[in-house]
Amino acid sequence: MSTQLERTLQTEILYRLARYPVVPIAVPNGLYMPARTEEERVLVRRIVARMRNDGMLTPGAPDLVLLGEKRALCLELKRPASRDIFMKRPKGRLSPEQRAFRDRCVDCGVEYLVADCWEDVEAVLPELY
């Protein structure tokens, strides 16, 4: 997730999921490490490369994984379409890495959902428990 709207949506969904018999797992797939000097930049590149090699940073991984009694669900949150006084903002789209991850989930029989509101998530919750 990249925008404030998506972060707010994730916070809302995690809060509401507390009432359901599922285990939500937020997947951290990004980090911010400030580097002021070239030596620090080299160190940050090494740390990120090591995390990527160890499988700690997976390109395209979903924002949330929901575990229920019957099955699991990978949940990708996207910005809803919106309009303000300056412009119309289109609905968020999956990146090529996210599409590849989604296809891999589908091939393995794991459900994958792209949601832009709580109602999208709430509709599939009964299938998990």
CATH of the domain at 77: 3.40.1350.10
Structural domain harbouring 98 = 4-27+62-127
54 and 94 fall within a common domain: no
Q: Enter the pTM of the model.
A: 0.75
* Total domains in the fold of the chain: 2
pLDDT at 82: 74
Q: How confident is the prediction along the chain (129 residues), in pLDDT tens digits per residue?
A: 456 777 788 888 888 998 999 999 887 766 778 888 999 999 988 988 888 888 777 788 898 999 999 999 999 988 887 777 777 777 788 999 999 999 999 999 999 999 988 999 999 999 888
DSSP 10-51: HHHHHHHHTTSS-EEEE----------SHHHHHHHHHHHHHH
118 and 66 fall within a common domain: yes
115 and 54 fall within a common domain: no
